Each structure stands twice: as structure tokens, then as C-alpha cells.
Structure 1
Amino acid sequence: MRRLPRLLSLTLLFLSTALLLAACAPAPIFKPGSNIANVPPETVAQAPERYIGRAVIWGGQVVAVQNMPDTTEVQILGYPLDSSQRPLPNSPAGGRFIAIMKGYVEPLNYPAGALVTLTGHVEGVRVGSVGNASYAFPLVRVDAVHVWTAAELRSDKPHFSFGLGVGMGIIR
């Protein structure tokens, strides 16, 4: 009979801990749907005809910004995303891609090295180069984009602090 209250206590402790940890992670920026192609840019580059018109949620690190007459192209080194859709730059890269945005985009808002997450539709592939190597860049027509701030990137990390110290005071 004594085991039941203990088991119930442990179950409640486990559930409350799980809920607390789940509450730490921010919600995704973009609503994932069943129509989203869950593939990295390098997969699209290998077989673009299979993905043209498909929606994607990709993220990564800004490499370069180039303004054109009616659009802006942002070259991005793709990385996997966490559950909050933040790029994971310490993971292996998933290929480069070009995000095509309507109109003029201020390059200072997308500095080289900034982490971004976007949603859009695959338009095809353009052959270009990275250094002296030929490279196939998937093209994504952007619907929405989010540039991550430093505070957002660390927002789900635990904010615990623990300290030990010795204090000295003067007694008069």
C-alpha cells in the first residue's frame, strides 16, 4: 500500500519536470504544416524538379546580400533547425541556397554571419560558384524571414546560477 503514494509522487514529479522543460523552449517562428518539404538545400540541389513549388522552412547563416533591380538575393549557408526553428551553426551545414526577397532589402539588416530562418517556395536551381568551384544553389522565393537576435538565440538556455562564497565583514 505504501508503494502507491510513492509511485504517484514520482509520476507527478516526472510530469511537472517535463512540463517545465517543455515550457523553456520558445515556439517555432513559422507554423509548420503538412505541405512543407522537410529536406535540406543540398537535397533540393540534387533533384530540383521534385521540389519546385514546394514550401520549405530553412535557416542558416547569411553569406552575402546582392540587391537587384526588383529583388534582393541573400546567399545563405543552410543549417538544421532546432524545435524553435533556430539554425544550429555547430551542426554540419546542409548546403547553400539563395533566398529571393521582393524589392530592396537593406544589407545592414542582413549582415554576413547573421542567423536567419525563412519560409518560402522553391523556384529551381541556379548554377554559380563558391570560390573556384561550381555550385548549384537552390532558389527560394521568400514569404517571410526572421533574423535572430543574440537574446533570442540563448532564450531557451537554462538561467540557473549557483555560487559559493566566503564573506568577510568588519565587526565594530
Structure 2
Amino acid sequence: MRPVRFLAPLLAPAAMLALAACAPAPIYKPSTDAVAAVPFEVARSPERFANGSVIWGGRVVAVNNLADHSEIEVLAYPLDKSQRPKVSDSGNGRFIAVIKGFVEPMAYPDGALITVSGKLDGSRAGRVGAADYVFPLVQVDQAHAWTAEEMRSGHSNVHFGVGLGVGIR
């Protein structure tokens, strides 16, 4: 029994490190001119953030294919350390991801979670329902649609804490 008591304080930190190592790495590397502002902040003064790089993500609202490019309207959410949208948080506004060429709408269905990396390229006035809205435009370099499995990976069902709580996922 004595060796077990001696090992217990050493095993707890090791277990915590092992759980932390399970989280996937970020998919995009932030650039040196990365904009820390979220879409609704950029929409207020897009000229202030012109040509800045962003890594934003959220939920697909709509895909619109045009003659030479496609536009994906996204309801933005904060990103976790792996750059996955955290849909349990409040939204950060909306933006339009502009992608050269044709985008298959089935690859980005309504409600899909995506993360994009690209450059801010102004804004466009539009509407959300009956309300006027200003959408920041992101010229996309890379886009990733998250699968359900990717969204679950790296999330441990083991939680440490003191007290009583209820968790719903």
C-alpha cells in the first residue's frame, strides 16, 4: 500500500499532461499581420483592418456561387486552441468568406462548421432578415469544413473540479 500512496501525487500531473496532449494542433499558422478583432468589430471600421490576416470560423449560413468565385456566409464563433468553432459561446457577428472558383454547396452545407484563413478585403452592406448588416469580406486562402468526428476529437469526458455540476454536450 505504501508505494501506491507515494505514486498517486506523481500520477495525477502525468494524467493531466496526457489528456492535454490529446487536443489536435491548430490547422493554420497565424501570420505576423494577424487581426485579433472579431467580425462584428471589423464590420464597424473595416478600413482600420484592411488587408489584415484572419483565422475565423463558425457555422455556414449560405453558399452563393457566382461566375468566377463563391461566397460563404458564416455566423462567426470564437475558436478553440485547435481552431475549431466553439458553438457553445456567443456569436461574434457574421462574415463572408470569398473563395476563387466554384464551391460545391454539399461540401459546405447549411449549418456546417468551418474555419478559414485569409485576408480581409473590405466589407459589403447586406441584410440579415429585415435588418441591415455590414459583412466583412475575407479572401480565403484555405478553408476547412469540420466533421463531427473532428469536433469530438481531443475532448476528454474526464473533468476535474470541486463542487456539483451538470454538463450537456
Q: Could you tell me the TM-score, scaled by structure 2's length?
A: 0.85
Quick check: 1:18 aligned with 2:16?
yes
1:122-141 alpha-carbon deviations (Å, 9 max, x no partner): 00110000111100000000
Question: Which residue does 1:43 correspond to in 2?
Answer: 41
Aligned to 2:77: 79
Task: Identify the residue that residue 93 of structure 1 maps to in structure 2.
Answer: 91
Matches within 5 A, 1:125-140: 125-140=123-138
Alignment-derived partner of residue 156 in structure 2 = 158
Question: What's the CA shift for 1:157?
Answer: 2.1
Q: For residue 63 of structure 2, what is the amino acid of its counterpart?
A: V
State the TM-score, normalizing by the size of structure 1.
Answer: 0.84
Which structure would you say has the larger Rg? 1
- Describe the SS at the equivalent of 1:153: helix
Runs of 4+ in 1 over 3 A off after TM superposition: 8-15
Q: Residue 105 of structure 1 aligns to a residue in which SS? A: coil
Match of 1:117 in 2: 115
Residue 29 (str. 1) matches residue 27 (str. 2): yes
Aligned match of 1:56: 54
Alpha-carbon distance, 1:34 to partner: 3.3
CA distance in 2, matches of 1:158, 1:48: 39
Give 1:59's aligned amino acid.
Answer: G
Contact kept in structure 1, 2:19 and 2:156, CA below 8 Å: no
Q: Indicate the SS of the match to 2:11.
A: helix
* Alignment CA distance shift 1:90-1:159 (3 Å): closer
The residue type paired with residue 121 of structure 2 is: E
In 1, Cα distance between equivalents of 2:13 and 2:54: 34
Q: Which amino acid aligns with 1:75?
A: E
Higher mean C-alpha deviation, range 83-92 or range 29-38: 29-38
Deviation, structure 1 residue 38? 1.6
Q: How much does 1:10 deviate?
A: 6.6
Name the count of aligned residue pairs: 156
